[in-house]
Structure 1
């Protein structure tokens, strides 16, 4: 059957696997996904993950590889209906014999022996368990940072340069660390920040984080590059649960406009435009994993010119517009009434310009250390930004958030003392979800709440509005040569870069 001829499924009958297998050439390519056949011959060239991975599964069942990477509505959005060929009798599809993988056998043994959830007492514990139990490609994607990963590690260690100046003899019997972020009441001043490809760590993906956020009354930021569809994540929310949206801006502004307008209709409470990723950074762990089985929640508009050897991150991001600039902000303000926040601001001058442009907030962030190596940590930028804003009496004109490296409630408290409205936490919840599912996310959030209550008491504050700069000593923060105490937990879970021929330690 030529792919240009009409594809007709026999009446009252499913496709037979033997018929699907005949369509396995570059000029006639069908695949099976979730028990249905699709003609992807013409789509191959536009696939954000490249055509090679499609050809690998030509005439075969691609579900196992497709599922963790693509939202369920991807085929409906990006493949014309005449290429949806109908159901397949899966009992007639030949099962491929997978070669034995000693590494996978070892991983399964580690899963059988993994610690019980109750043995995790801090966020680093979840990372340690996830490192030993996740698939290599998933771990490489989640844990990788840019280049030498200096910034990724500094994000965490920068908090160790800030010391407390606690108050004593304060009435701290009743502690209230609830707050308001972008007009939404929250139980604690952190939010689940956007992280891509949730199904790499858990088959249910980002909806697990949605459920955890609901239980603990915290905000979830929905990522553009989620494994679940945007609507699937929105539908998982309950009781008018607040959600924000992270946006990578597409070169095709009409696509971006449709995404933004749809988000507003769904009740999203904040639009976080990522501004630190005109091109995604080199994440060498991800690149070495040779993870090319990738797709995305969005449609590429630039053809197939992306170097697919650059790992998952780059392969799914070819649609991002490197031409995004300050002149685009009035257009965003014209198409939505949602609060607009710039995510990825890294210097005082740009915070000032953002205020002058009339945006509602900024996130001081270096993308979790995944973009420009040797970019300063968000907490260091915060310590520089707030005094300048206070000199101008501008501190109340904008909401300031920080993300990157937050692992303890003391980190949250330090950020709030310096003037942040709240902090974003990403990887720790991914690791908790990957290792233990929803119970892991639940416990991770509860551990932070328990730490928060204890440390608020110990610093001498009973509510968030009492946190202020006099409670911290930041003199060492801007001195990059200053020795800081060795962080045993952080060093133990850090996965060092490796050279060719070496194996990463597990």
Structure 2
């Protein structure tokens, strides 16, 4: 893409309809008229910025190479003089950032502190996307509150001078059992984005899962990682399978990425009302008029960021068809994310050794509201099919705010514990140092809890260290329903 034509800002502003739609990105003018019908997020998101400088909206969301991968060379038609770019600024309401300076990171003592600071630093759009959950936020809230119903059982007269958080996941050594869950568009929080999270994880020997919808390319994210740093790649299978196959081929070339995390807990996007209310930008009447007058008919798209990200995602995945397809296109270990019942955990364990681990998750309470918290699923497995723990690793995410939460999950049998919003909020609150501070707090709290329980190593944590009777009363009590599956398993053996 190359064009030396200089275009006046007033000329760009005229092209704001469906039959002639120009946008400015990084000072360059693109004719995206032909791309409107195929834009994954819908045409309205582009039309809201038609004839304007879309860089501020575009840049934090799209990884390097997105333009080149989606637009033909002839779409670049010229450049705009830098002095006239101000004329093309969107009419949308700008970020509601606080005028106050950031607090000292040492003054932030817990995850709620990071969330509070982030709420003042993030744009309205970014906050709504990160914070939102499905419907009435019941699952989102329960993800954390469930941990408060589990009590710890401290022991005394135990030498607790030494305490190690070291563990292994999929055979790889890690310094802490806390990992960064896959979260989309981290550059909405801070310019360092996913690479910033990676840098913090490197300092603490923590694993990071890279989102399929990251705002940076996987190559950029792992570029400066130490040789022994562990990454996973989250996969949302696309309706156009060739796109997913091409990405799997790219991932295969990156030695830092040790597994593929196939996400299953959101086959379709949930209704995240806070996110949907913001749409893509805070629309003004002038922008609404552009959309309404852009061709005489309503165009698809223009909903919240969550809805836009799921455009093109395949909702028809099955045990029978999808796993064989995936195994043809990767030789990396497969981790299934989004298990929410003991039945599905058991079925996953039948596919060992192809499947190495599962992640118990309800997508951060963002898919189906009133879906169970991961702790419920973890305890269901213990109740109905504990043999799952012997066949595959069980990881967990959602609602972690304290080191005591980490310890309780490990006591229940989890091998690793993921944090998603914590990583984003701490990134927004302080960039790379903010994420380091977040991991420092969680690690210190986890180590303190283990010492007070009289436990030196994470593998020694168990049910004897907790009282979960209050949660047991809430568990599914309809029987295991696994007799047929067990007979199948015995036949295989």
Name the TM-score, length of structure 2 as normaliser. Answer: 0.87
**Residues 1:108 and 2:104 are matched in the alignment:** no
Find the aligned partners of 1:98 and 1:31 in 2 and give their Cα distance.
11
Stretches of structure 2 that go unaligned for 5 or more consecutive residues are: 284-296, 476-493
Find the aligned partners of 1:76 and 1:317 in 2 and give their Cα distance.
21
* SS of residue in 2 equivalent to 1:42: helix
Find the aligned partners of 1:59 and 1:29 in 2 and give their Cα distance.
7
Matches within 5 A, 1:159-238: 159-238=147-226
Partner of 1:348: 342
Find the aligned partners of 2:125 and 2:134 in 1 and give their Cα distance.
16
**Residues 1:71 and 2:59 are matched in the alignment:** no
**Residues 1:332 and 2:326 are matched in the alignment:** yes
Contact 2:125 2:281 in 1 (8 A): no
Find the aligned partners of 1:310 and 1:57 in 2 and give their Cα distance.
14
Quickly say closer, same or farther: Cα 1:379–1:8, change in 2 above 3 A. closer
Quote the offset at 1:100 in angstroms. Answer: 10
Matches within 5 A, 1:294-305: none
Equivalent residue in structure 1 for 2:264, among 271, 275, 282: 275
Find the aligned partners of 2:299 and 2:439 in 1 and give their Cα distance.
38
Quickly say closer, same or farther: Cα 1:287–1:8, change in 2 above 3 A. closer
Find the aligned partners of 1:232 and 1:305 in 2 and give their Cα distance.
38
Equivalent residue in structure 2 for 1:406, among 396, 400, 407: 400
Find the aligned partners of 1:306 and 1:99 in 2 and give their Cα distance.
21
Find the aligned partners of 1:94 and 1:474 in 2 and give their Cα distance.
59
Partner of 2:484: none
Quote the offset at 1:58 in angstroms. Answer: 2.9
Find the aligned partners of 1:43 and 1:189 in 2 and give their Cα distance.
44
Find the aligned partners of 2:128 and 2:471 in 1 and give their Cα distance.
30
Stretches of structure 1 that go unaligned for 5 or more consecutive residues are: 1-6, 295-303, 482-506
Partner of 1:58: 50
**Residues 1:37 and 2:26 are matched in the alignment:** no
Equivalent residue in structure 1 for 2:437, among 434, 438, 443: 443
Find the aligned partners of 1:384 and 1:56 in 2 and give their Cα distance.
47
Partner of 1:248: 236
Partner of 2:116: 128
Find the aligned partners of 2:83 and 2:125 in 1 and give their Cα distance.
30
Name the TM-score, length of structure 1 as normaliser. Answer: 0.85
Partner of 1:360: 356
Deviations 1:157-209 (A, max 9, x none): 11111111233322221111110111221111010001112122113322111
Deviations 1:260-289 (A, max 9, x none): 121121121111111111111001111122
Deviates more, 1:274-283 or 1:30-39: 30-39
Contact 2:43 2:302 in 1 (8 A): no
Find the aligned partners of 2:474 and 2:342 in 1 and give their Cα distance.
18
Find the aligned partners of 1:261 and 1:434 in 2 and give their Cα distance.
32
* SS of residue in 1 equivalent to 2:33: coil
Contact 1:307 1:315 in 2 (8 A): no
Partner of 2:416: 422
Find the aligned partners of 1:143 and 1:306 in 2 and give their Cα distance.
28
Partner of 1:49: 41
Contact 1:270 1:341 in 2 (8 A): yes
The CA RMSD measured in Å over matched residues stands at 2.5
